[in-house]
Amino acid sequence: MSALIEARELRRVFHQGRSDQVEAVKGVSLSIAAGQVTVLRGPSGSGKTSLLALLGAMARPTSGRIFLGERELTSLPERFLTEERRRTFGFVFQQFNLVPGLSARENVMLPALPLGHPRAGLARRAGALLERFGVAHRAAARADRLSGGEAQRVAIARALINEPAVIIADEPTANLDSVLSGVFMELVGTLRASGKTIIVASHDPLVYESPLVDRVISMRDGRLEEPAP
């Protein structure tokens, strides 16, 4: 299967040159195949979130290169990187990161607002996504009044509104009980079936031991435990 994302010798250093310098990602090379579910597994502090941020164009590496297909992301100006974030990636954050005060429907519509599509069509599309994930009845509820499971499904709907090719989820089951974690994995199966590429960071066995997962990459102390393919 062809590599959709390829990372070469990625390093991510926080507070570089200061006494509190931290090297979160230490020379990671890997490739992510299109249409697969890949899980980054490792304990807290192993660098999973930092690596996800790099792979999803949310941060620039201190050194190393990232390719999306034939295109190198690391050298792109901010404007084009934004375009990739908007078009290619959909993020589901560990804390969901919904905007409080906005309704579930408005949160789902949020990534598409700057695209200039008619609001009515966008609202219909957001409604359909909420319906698909079983939270249509909470469309008008404020994001800060949703339960953990509802908030996560709204966050997934938001990640899909711009029809991205890649879904990135960071510790998606960390705030969910086992039942809702199971529901999440069912959603992953649905997305995989629709051809999406899914990258999940998790140290939850329910996730990385799931039969839906094509590949598990282990991380520890900022490095991969499995050699890059």
Task: Give the shortest CB-150-to-another protein separation in angstroms.
Answer: 18
Nearer to another protein, 29 or 162 (CB): 162
Task: Give the shortest CB-205-to-another protein separation in angstroms.
Answer: 27
163 scored as a contact of another protein (CB under 8 A):
yes
**DSSP H or E run through 3:** strand 3-14
What six digits make up the tokens of 129?
Answer: 């996504």
Residues between 37 and 66 with contacts to another protein, criterion CB under 8 A: 50, 53, 58-60
The distance from CA 158 to its chain's CA centroid, rounded to whole angstroms, is: 11
Q: Which stretch binds another protein (CB under 8 A): 64-72, 106-114, 180-188, 212-220?
A: 106-114
CB-based burial label for 179 (10 Å; 0-12, 13-18, 19+): exposed
The vertex-32 CA angle with 194 and 153, nearest 5°, equals 45
Q: What is the C-alpha to C-alpha distance for residues 229 and 223, in angstroms, rounded to an integer?
A: 14
Nearer to another protein, 11 or 215 (CB): 11
Complete edge-to-edge strand list for the sheet that includes strand 3-14: 22-33, 3-14, 63-68, 71-72
Residues between 85 and 104 with contacts to another protein, criterion CB under 8 A: 85-87, 91, 93, 97, 99-102
Task: Give the shortest CB-221-to-another protein separation in angstroms.
Answer: 19
Contact pattern from residue 165 through residue 194 relative to another protein, giving x for each residue in contact according to CB under 8 A and a dash for the rest? ------------------------------
Q: Which of 94, 158, 164 is nearest to 130 (CA)?
A: 158
Q: Which residues bind another protein (CB under 8 A)?
A: 50, 53, 58-60, 78-79, 82, 85-87, 91, 93, 97, 99-102, 106, 110-119, 122, 158-159, 161-163
